[in-house]
Amino acid sequence: MSDPLDLPASIAPPPEMEAMALALEQVTLEALETDAADRAEAGDTETPPLRAFLLLDASQSADIPVLAGAFAEEARCLFDGQALEDLGDVGPWLIELKRHGNAFDWFVEDGWGSNWGIVIQTRLTLARLKVHLKKFIRVEDEAGEVYFFKFYRPQHLNTYLPLFDADQLARFMGPLRAIYAEREGDRATLLRHRLEEDGTLGTAPADLIANGMPLRIRPPDVSEVEALLARAAEGG
Instruction: Identify the domain containing residue 53 by its residue range.
Output: 15-235
Model confidence pTM above 0.95: no
Rounded distance, CA 94 to CA 130, Å?
7
How many domains, in total, are found in the chain? 1
> Which residues 6+ apart lie within 8 Å of 133 measured at CB?
55, 78, 92, 94, 152
Q: Which residue has the higher pLDDT, 235 or 182?
A: 182
4 located within any domain: no
5 located within any domain: no
Q: Give SS3 for 124.
A: coil
* Contact indicator for 60, 115 with CB cutoff of 8 Å: yes
Confidence of residue 107 (pLDDT cuts 50, 70, 90): very high
The one-character DSSP state at 199 is S
The pLDDT, as a whole number, for residue 6 is: 46
2 located within any domain: no
